[in-house]
């Protein structure tokens, strides 16, 4: 017997968690269903339940995308599941994913459901992926599930690519500006300052400030680097704990300038995920649970969890989401229309598209002002350095 830890929903929609002993994952899931529980996550006791939402590396995400692409084509061609897995394993044999697919094939051949096999490969398949496949297998529409997953991943890749392209130039500009200033302060200024100090003249205030900054940068550069690293990585370190994560997430949606970007990105991710989950046939309450956790913001997730409880009690989705105060007004209206017309999947897809377009437009506007601002700041700093050096030289010339 093996111990399995689980997270599930009771009949009245409340979350519960615990452990159960069974010979395998399927028997453990069935035992919990017999108790009236709807299982959302189940893992062997030695595995971490949090692993399902752990960040999958970019390389592994690309390999998962390739796996999905191959499977959707083969299943649409009506190839049996085991044969499709075998062909995909051969195609991806040169990648680590090839060994993963081979393990999936062996487990499915041995009688395991595909979603159960995927759930044991958390380095490549998260809760969202597993839930979509689980729902598709229950409805017998596995090919459509891989189509939906592929479309979902393609949309996210395209959106990320557009943002990265927009951010590339400002990032390069900032890096070049910082390196140029560091070079001037750390190498050029110290050599010139020695000459100025040996001239035995009264140095202008700006020159004395520059020499002091140069001395600090040259003597304590390692402290400056350490401080910059702490500032850069402190949000990630804080997010390692539940309390720290809530603090960071709450801060992101509270700062006036950052709030718009953070909320647009979060709502877009939630809406896109929720739409795809509904498209696979998942119940609204279950889709809310998974989409809330995939949203990437713990405060948003908590608000969605409250909305889910209201849904389970018979409330309307639009009203439940409106109570959170985290959704834009137009989105609530669109959801209300979707509920009345039975087109919630399309409604959330439209919300996701609108938020992504708004985020892209806001980013473009921000970068339009950021790029010249960086140039102006860099020019000001360089001008300050040049003036600090030239003023004492001009004073020396006038004395002579």
Tell me the three state secondary structure of residue 261: helix
Partners of 39 in beta bridges: 8
- pTM, two decimal places: 0.67
pLDDT at 47: 44
CA distance 274 to 23: 33
Distance of CA 5 to the CA centre of its chain: 26
Under DSSP, the state recorded for 2 is E
Q: Ranked by mean pLDDT, which of 268-282, 289-303, 327-341 comes out on top?
A: 327-341
pLDDT (tens digit, 9 = 90+) per residue, 179-229?
888 787 777 778 777 777 776 777 788 888 888 888 887 777 788 788 888
Under DSSP, the state recorded for 53 is G
Least Cα distance to 68 among 4, 23, 20, 132 occurs for 132
Tell me the three state secondary structure of residue 111: coil
Tokens 């979060």 belong to 266
Tell me the three state secondary structure of residue 3: strand
Rounded to 5 degrees, φ, ψ at 6 are -140, 160
Q: Which two tokens stand for residue 366?
A: 């921000």
CA distance 147 to 153: 10
Tokens 């400030």 belong to 209
What is the separation, in whole angstroms, between the first and last Cα of the chain? 95
Q: Which two tokens stand for residue 315?
A: 């409330």
Q: Which two tokens stand for residue 201?
A: 């003249």
pLDDT average, residue stretch 98-125: 89
Q: Is the pLDDT reported for residue 235 higher than 90?
A: no
CA angle 112, 118, 120 (to 5 degrees): 90
Q: Which two tokens stand for residue 385?
A: 């350095």
Partners of 18 in beta bridges: 6
């Amino acid at each position: 017997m093996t111990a399995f830890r689980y997270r599930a929903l009771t009949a009245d929609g409340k979350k519960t968690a615990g452990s159960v002993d069974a010979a395998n994952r399927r028997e453990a899931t069935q035992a919990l269903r017999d108790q009236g529980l709807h299982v959302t996550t189940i893992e062997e006791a030695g595995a971490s339940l949090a692993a399902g939402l752990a960040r999958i590396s970019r390389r592994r995400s690309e390999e998962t995308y390739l796996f999905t692409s191959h499977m959707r084509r083969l299943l649409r061609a009506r190839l049996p599941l085991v044969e499709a897995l075998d062909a995909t394993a051969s195609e991806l044999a040169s990648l680590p994913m090839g060994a993963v697919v081979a393990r999936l094939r062996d487990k499915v051949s041995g009688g395991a459901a595909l979603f159960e096999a995927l759930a044991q490969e958390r380095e490549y398949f998260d809760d969202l992926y597993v839930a979509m496949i689980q729902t598709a297998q229950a409805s017998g529409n596995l090919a459509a599930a891989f189509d939906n997953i592929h479309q979902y991943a393609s949309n996210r890749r395209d959106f990320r690519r557009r943002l990265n392209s927009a951010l590339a130039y400002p990032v390069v500009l900032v890096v070049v500006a910082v390196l140029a200033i560091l070079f001037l302060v750390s190498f050029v200024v110290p050599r010139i300052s020695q000459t100025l100090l040996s001239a035995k003249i009264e140095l202008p205030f700006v020159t004395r400030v520059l020499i002091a900054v140069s001395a600090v940068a040259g003597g304590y550069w390692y402290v400056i680097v350490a401080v910059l690293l702490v500032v850069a990585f402190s949000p990630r370190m804080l997010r390692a704990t539940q309390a720290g994560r809530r603090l960071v997430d709450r801060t992101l949606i509270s700062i006036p300038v950052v709030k718009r970007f953070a909320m647009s990105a979060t709502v877009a991710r939630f809406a896109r995920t929720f739409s795809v989950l509904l498209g696979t046939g998942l119940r609204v309450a279950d889709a809310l649970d998974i989409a809330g956790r995939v949203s990437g913001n713990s405060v948003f997730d908590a608000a969605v969890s409250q909305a889910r409880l209201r849904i389970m009690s018979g409330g309307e989705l639009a009203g439940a989401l409106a109570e959170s105060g985290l959704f834009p007004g137009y989105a609530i209206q669109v959801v209300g229309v979707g509920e009345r017309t039975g087109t919630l999947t399309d409604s959330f897809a439209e919300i996701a598209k609108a938020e992504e377009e708004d985020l892209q437009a806001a980013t473009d506007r921000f970068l339009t002002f950021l790029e010249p601002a960086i140039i102006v700041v860099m020019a000001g700093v360089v001008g300050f350095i040049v003036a600090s050096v030239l003023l004492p030289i001009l004073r020396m010339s006038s004395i002579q």
